[in-house]
Structure 1
Amino acid sequence: MSLSAKTQYACLAMLQLAADYEVQEPSPLRRIAEQHGIPAAFLVQILQELKRAGLVGSSRGSAGGYRLANSPDQITLADVVAVFECLDAGGQCAAVESPLAQTIGGVCEQLASMRREWLESVTLSELAAAGNVQPMWYI
């Protein structure tokens, strides 16, 4: 299983927003981009897609930025990945119609199902804690 760069950047941004959730202030886009090495113009597009999906909210102005729309323990990795990728991808393998190919196709379907179940079982708060992600404090 591989995730696109866009999906990986989205996960990084969401993990930072999860770590910043208790700060009670929006996280500036530029800080997220700089801290994680994400091109700012690309991060704008990613966060706009996450906003359309209802996962983040934004505020404008000098004290503006982005915040999670819900608590990090209510947002799963599947919620984030599904914005950018099909969670059932990998369910189809070869188009050959032989008994062995059908067996392999069944394995591919099981792998896709396991991937989806695992992504649905992991919350942003669990990942942020496991990765020891620290909130960004602003002065």
Structure 2
Amino acid sequence: MNLNAKTEYACLAMLELAQHYATGEPVQHRLIAERHGIPAQFLVQILHQLKRAGLVNSTRGACGGYQLTQPPQEVTLAELLDVVEGSTDSTTSAANASPLAPVLLEVCAELTAVQRERLEAITLADLLDRAAVEADPMWYI
């Protein structure tokens, strides 16, 4: 699975918001952009898309910014990817003329189902836990 820049930036922004969820304070888009090397104008567009989808709220003003609408434990990667990339239904191609095409399409459908199931099982909180483990390796003596 390859993530395009927009999807990667959306995931990074959501993870940043997830890190700040417990504080209840909004996070300014400039902070997210600087911290993760995301072009600020592009990030604003992404955050607006996430807001329209109901994944984030925004607050105006000097102390404003963005916040998750749900706890990080309730937001899955599948939800996020659906918003940013749209639904990815597999379509058939000209190969349908072949009598072997249905077998190939069946395997592709199985792979898509497994991928979707896995994405539905991973939450923002899970990713933050993984990031914490990678950031703080354990040393054994």
Regarding TM over 0.5, the answer is yes
Answering whether residue 24 of structure 2 is matched by residue 24 of structure 1, we say: yes
TM-score (norm 2): 0.87
1:42 aligns with 2:38: no
**Post-superposition shift, 1:84?**
1.7
TM-score by length of 1: 0.88
The question of whether the paired residues in 2 share the 8 Å contact of 1:27 and 1:64 is answered with yes
2: distance between equivalents of 1:131 and 1:87?
A: 27
Gaps spanning 5+ residues in structure 1: where? 135-139
How many equivalent pairs are there?
Answer: 133
Q: Could you tell me which runs of 5 or more consecutive residues in structure 2 were left unpaired when the two chains were aligned.
A: 136-141
1:87: Cα distance to partner?
4.2
- Seq. identity, %: 51
Q: Tell me how far 1:92 sits from its aligned partner.
A: 3.6
Deviations 1:7-30 (A, max 9, x none): 110000001111111122101110
Counterpart residue type for residue 130 of structure 2? A
CA contact (8 A) 1:93 1:104 kept: no
Q: 4+ residue runs of structure 1 moved beyond 4 angstroms?
A: none
Aligned-residue CA RMSD (Å): 1.7
Q: 1:15-60, CA deviations, whole angstroms, 9 ceiling, x for partnerless residues?
A: 1111111122101110000000000000000000000000000101
Deviations 1:91-125 (A, max 9, x none): 34643232322211111111111111111111111
Rg larger for:
2
